[in-house]
Structures are given as structure tokens and as C-alpha cells.
Structure 1
Amino acid sequence: MNDILFFPIITTVEDNLGQVEEIEDFSRQVFCEKKSVPQSEFFAAGQSGIKASCVLIVHTMDYQEETKVKYRDKIYSIYRTYETKDEKIELFCEVKAGV
């Protein structure tokens, strides 16, 4: 694993009016490896309206059920995960429009 991704740290802030806002700070750094989305996954995701972009592989102990990740200055949504036998997890990612 020779690349780095960032998971968000979410902070909840309440303003003077009592409105609660969640602030995402992509600062939790984790080593990763990137691979292409398999063709079968790309087509299956497309049938569900998902535009699969990449697969990021991290150690299982580094993943804490996050739904977003920042990789190379892009924010991805994690739409599926797959745990492998070697204590790693594959994060299947898509870029959502307008994000």
C-alpha cells in the first residue's frame, strides 16, 4: 500500500439559534491501494444508477464504516464494501454529481 486517502472526522456544532450542523474534515489519513473497478461491477452498478469510479483497498482495522472518502482531491461516496481474507477491505467508490 503506497498511497494515501483521507476519511472524514465529523464534528457537530450548534449555533446561537440552536441549529445543529455537521462539519466534515477529511483529516484521518490511511494508507491505501487503488485498483480499477472490474467490468462486471461497473455494469452491475450502472444498472442501479451508480457510476462506479474506483476501488480503494485499506486494512480492515482502519475502516470505521465511513460512507465518504477523499482520495487525490476528490470526494467519493462508498456504495459497497468487500472484506478479503488477508485482513483488507475493498471500498467501491463513486463520485456523485454536485459534490
Structure 2
Amino acid sequence: MVSGLQYAFNQNQRGRLQIDAYITLVEPGETKEEDVKNGVIATVEPIGRDEFVAAGQKGMKARHKFNVWGNEYNDEQEVEYNGRRLTIYRSYGPKDDGKIELYAGERAGNV
């Protein structure tokens, strides 16, 4: 596990804030001890209004969009970020740059 990792803030071409951060992709096991965890560096972007509405139609409350390298993502179902465990409800990619977009949130009743 990486400790003391600093966040790197920047803006993309559209001027939207992006944060490079250490996240943990999680494949849940039968118990917490059996969870398979994979720590990766991801670019974190805010969720847009359209995505927030689309997630709500699936019973989810969208929280973050994570961009990770395609070879680091193995169809994990959850992600740990900022001390919270979120459900990955949608993925997109890989894109031309080799990254996959992961959309994560919480069940609407659990927020």
C-alpha cells in the first residue's frame, strides 16, 4: 500500500478539475478478509449532471468517475476512495488512450 501519496490537481482540456489519486479496486469475497484488492493510480473527475440522472434511474447515487489503465482493471465490482467503499455501476472503454472510465456510487437508499 502506498502511504503519504499526495494528490495532484490539474485541469483537462475542457477546464474541468481532475485529481490524480491512489484508489483501491476491490473484488468482494465471502468475507472482508477474502476481498481481493488492487491498488492503482486513477484520475478522478466530477460526475456531470447527465450521468447523475442516468445513475439515479439505476437506483444509484453517482459519486465519482475514475479513469484507470485498462490493464489494471479486472472487472472489479467496488472501489475504495477517501475511506469510502463505492459500487462500480458502469464502465466505458478502453478508449484510444488505453484508459477505462469507471463510474462509482452508492445505492440511493444507502446515502
- TM-score bracket for the superposition, by shorter chain length: 0.7 to 0.9
How large is the RMSD of aligned CA atoms in angstroms?
A: 2.2
State the TM-score, normalized to the length of structure 2: 0.69
Report if aligned partners of 1:5, 1:69 keep a CA contact under 8 Å in 2: yes
Structure 1 position 10, deviation (Å)? 5.3
The count of residues paired between Structure 1 and Structure 2 equals: 89
Higher helix proportion: 2
Bigger Rg, which one: 1
Question: For residue 79 of structure 1, what is the amino acid of its counterpart?
Answer: Y
Which of the pair has the greater relative contact order for Cα pairs under 8 Å at 6+ separation? 1
Task: Report the TM-score, using the length of structure 1 for normalisation.
Answer: 0.76
Tell me which protein shows more strand as a share of its residues.
1
Point out 4+ residue stretches in structure 1 off by more than 6 angstroms: none
Q: CA deviation at 1:85?
A: 1.6
- 5+ residue gaps in structure 1? 12-20
Aligned pairs for 1:2-41 (under 5 A) are 2-8=20-26, 21-23=30-32, 24-25=34-35, 27-41=37-51
Correspondence 1:55-70 to 2 at 5 A:
55-70=65-80
Runs of 5+ consecutive residues of structure 2 not aligned to the other structure: 1-18
